[in-house]
Structure 1
Amino acid sequence: MTWLIGITGGIGSGKTTVCKIFESLNIPVYYADAKAKYLMNHNPALKTRIKEILGKGAYHRNGRLNRPFVAQKIFNNKNLLKAINQAVHPAVHQDSAIWVQGLKDVPYALYEAALLVENGSYKSFNKLIVVAAPEEMRIKRVMKRDKVSKEQVSNRIKNQLPESDKIALADYIINNDETESVDILVKELHHKIISDIHDNISKPH
């Protein structure tokens, strides 16, 4: 049976970079947050539900999600945000279940999402990987990537669960602090996971 491993980390930790390296090792990755955005634009039932929650203005005339409108609606409105999450999560869950069923001849696969710990879904995976990095380094990465101010990035980080809380729940940690090659760290972890899977198979149950 293929292990499904959750992978998460704070903003700017380098989750996507790490996942791309795993993919180069022929490990499939399901990008849950990216898929959620896709489904919000392409899943008819989900689009209907979002319009019911936020109004018809949630979508442009061409059918694409009106991101500024949605962001303005749910900003500082926890009830609307919760309602949107409750609509999107089942759609992503259904899509990922189909993806998992299609996995063949791989020892494990990764499920990447920013809020695995926050929403408690990390408990449903065989293992959890946390990608970590010092806060100052994360801030610089996001400032460069998103062309935003230090204050804006700091505010985003404050709205996320502290990295230490995620690390406390991790089975595996990748310290992406640039003291070592992240390629080497990922490859070492890949071999460790393969070893753990073999050990688990050989254990009497």
Structure 2
Amino acid sequence: MLKIGITGGIGSGKSIVSEILRLYNIPVFDADTEAKKLNDRSPVIREKLIACFGKEVYDENGKLNRKRFAEIIFKNPDYLRKANSIIHPEVAKAFSLWAEQRNQYPIVAIEAALLFEADFQEYVDKVIAVYSPEALRIVRILSRDNTQESEVRKRMEGQLPEDDKRRRADFIVYNDPSHSLLQQISDIFARLCPPGAF
């Protein structure tokens, strides 16, 4: 089984690339979505987050109070690192189990904005970085989310710089009007896979 990591900055188009892979019958594990589920359901994460940040990070229904949690961890880089050190290993375990359960597929993928920051590259064979120019990413996010440009830039600053992602990736997919996503993905998998596998 070939395991592929998909990463890129906010607004780069990771989800579009993931959807194209799904059209080719490649299962994709969405790390951000799964992390949210685990934050609510994992007793390991719950116990450690409460020990570090207090009971108020969970609401009366036993679900993570995301607003309160964000207020705590984004004010202090050390708190953010601590929270990630609790959550990311559990997401990695969930991905490994998920992949094992799909061993009938020749290729699986994980989409993760923080793939390198979380060391998820250790669990995959190849990494695809999705790249879009910053100005285009900002336009996309502003049209998608109800937010301000200053907030978008703050979120961008909290991620690994795009140049670092591109340098560390095995392949780069350019998501802008002058490049075809389908053609780029087809070319990548033609290089990675034997004929007929993709």
For the criterion TM > 0.5, the same-fold answer is: yes
Partner of 1:202: none
- Matched residues, percent identical? 37
For structure 1, which segment, 171-180 or 137-146, has the greater mean C-alpha deviation from structure 2 after superposition? 171-180
Q: Deviations over 1:126-160 (max 9, x none)?
A: 11100001110000111111121222212222222
Partner of 1:138: 137
Partner of 1:179: 178
Paired amino acid for 2:8? G
Partner of 1:85: 84
TM-score for both structures, normalised by structure 2: 0.90
Question: Which structure 1 residue ranges, 5 or more long, are not aligned?
Answer: 199-205
In the alignment, the residues of structure 2 paired with residue 176 and residue 195 of structure 1 have an alpha-carbon distance, to the nearest angstrom, of 26
TM-score for both structures, normalised by structure 1: 0.87
Partner of 2:108: 109
Question: Which structure 2 residue ranges, 5 or more long, are not aligned?
Answer: none
Q: Deviations over 1:17-51 (max 9, x none)?
A: 11011011011111112111110011123212211
Partner of 1:44: 43
Query: Cα RMSD over matched residues?
Result: 2.0
1:20 aligns with 2:19: yes
Which has the larger Rg? Answer: 1
Inter-CA distance 45–162: structure 2 relative to 1 (3 Å threshold): closer
Q: Deviations over 1:92-124 (max 9, x none)?
A: 122112112112232221111111223443244
Maintained 8 Å contact 2:7/2:128: yes
- Moved beyond 3 Å, runs of 4+: none
Aligned to 2:193, the other structure's residue is in SS state helix
